[in-house]
Amino acid sequence: MDAFELLILVYHSINKFMATDSGELFKKFVELFLFTVVSYMILSEYGRSKERHLKYLFIGFAALVVDKFIMSLFFAAVVFGDVQLLI
């Protein structure tokens, strides 16, 4: 097995994991983390400069944080609880 075949095997293994409910939970949690960090950065900049557009930008990213938090809770219930996903 050469390096290229190993690379293809790893790539397919990662994609197979990402297609499961656990993979969806992982993706939603990473998105939640990134949007939370961006929201914090925008909020701290708004606290320093009080520019109007930063307030609206923060509101938009905070809405994304809430969305990803709800989706993370849903997939956590599917992965760790006894909930069956009917998709």
Domain span at 26: 21-80
- Whether 2 maps to a domain, the answer reads no
State pLDDT tens for residues 16-26. 999 998 999 99
Helices (H) and strands (E) in the chain, counts: 3, 0
| Arithmetic mean of pLDDT over the chain | 93
- Whether 45 maps to a domain, the answer reads yes
- Whether 47 maps to a domain, the answer reads yes
Local structure of 82: helix, strand or coil: coil
Residues of the chain with pLDDT under 70: 85-87
Are residues 30 and 39 in contact, defined by beta-carbon separation less than 8 angstroms?
no
- Whether 10 maps to a domain, the answer reads no
- Whether 5 maps to a domain, the answer reads no
- Whether 13 maps to a domain, the answer reads no
pLDDT at 86: 67
pLDDT at 76: 92
